[in-house]
Amino acid sequence: MEEKKVTFSCGLHDTRVTETFTFEQMRITDDMDDLEIEKYVDRIFKEWVWSQISFSLIIDG
């Protein structure tokens, strides 16, 4: 049986970041039902996106 994977991707204009994780790397276990997995992956995805973004604000004068 092929290992299950989740791929995250985000981009802005011409820049795109993509990263693939195995269920094992994400600590998704066999005892989790589909809804649990969906909620867990959604939360991890949001954390992953924020970790990819770098931004700053400068007020001059």
6 within some domain: yes
- Mean pLDDT computed over 16-33: 93
Instruction: Name the residue range of residue 23's domain.
Output: 1-32
User: Are the C-beta atoms of 22 and 1 separated by less than 8 Å?
Assistant: no
Residue range 26-59, pLDDT digits in tens: 999 989 999 999 999 999 999 999 988 888 889 9
Residue 1: its pLDDT value, please?
Answer: 60
26 within some domain: yes
Between the CA atoms of 29, 35, 36 and 37, what dihedral angle is there, to the nearest 10 degrees? 50
10 within some domain: yes
Residue 13: its pLDDT value, please?
Answer: 85
39 within some domain: no
56 within some domain: no
Number of domains present in the structure of the chain: 1
Residue 28: its pLDDT value, please?
Answer: 93
SS3 at position 38: helix
